[in-house]
C-alpha cells in the first residue's frame, strides 16, 4: 500500500496558512483511508478545497483507478464541512458503481 500522503493530493487556496494546510490535508487523508478500508484501495485521489464566491467553501474530490474516474463536489460553511460532504457523495457514488472498481482491479 502506498502512503496516503503520496496518493492523496490536497489543493488549497494560496491564502491558506500552514496550519490550515496541515490540518485539512490530515483530515482529507484520514477520510480517504477510512473509505478505502471499507471499499478497497484506489490509485490516486485529488481533493480541492477552495473558498467560493459566497463566503463559503467548495470542495471537489476526484478518485482515479485504472483509467476510471469518480468526481463529487460539495459546498459548506467551512472547509472541513465542504470536504466531508464531497467525500460522502463520492463514497456513495463508489458504492453504487462498485462493479467497475472490482472489474478494473
Cα angle 66-70-74, degrees, rounded to a multiple of 5: 155
Helix (H) or strand (E) holding 23: helix 18-39
- What does the pLDDT profile of the chain (105 residues) look like in tens digits? 455 557 899 999 888 889 999 999 999 999 999 999 988 888 999 999 999 888 799 999 999 988 889 999 999 999 999 999 999 999 998 888 766 555 555
What's the rounded Cα separation, in Å, for the pair 65 and 60?
17
Domains with residue ranges and CATH for the chain = 4-100 (3.30.160.100)
**36 CB neighbour count, 10 Å cutoff:** 19
Q: Which residues of 67-81 are buried (b: 16+ CB within 10 A; e: fewer)?
A: eeebebebebeebbe
pTM of the model: 0.84
Amino acid at each position: 500500500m502506498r502512503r496516503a500522503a503520496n496518493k492523496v493530493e490536497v489543493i488549497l487556496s494560496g491564502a491558506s496558512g500552514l496550519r490550515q494546510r496541515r490540518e485539512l490535508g490530515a483530515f482529507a487523508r484520514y477520510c480517504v483511508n477510512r473509505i478505502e478500508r471499507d471499499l478497497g484501495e484506489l490509485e490516486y485521489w485529488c481533493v480541492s478545497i477552495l473558498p467560493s464566491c459566497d463566503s463559503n467553501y467548495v470542495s471537489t474530490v476526484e478518485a482515479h483507478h485504472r483509467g476510471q474516474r469518480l468526481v463529487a463536489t460539495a459546498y459548506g460553511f467551512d472547509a472541513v464541512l465542504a470536504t466531508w460532504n464531497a467525500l460522502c457523495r463520492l463514497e456513495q457514488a463508489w458504492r453504487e458503481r462498485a462493479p467497475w472498481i472490482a472489474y478494473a482491479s
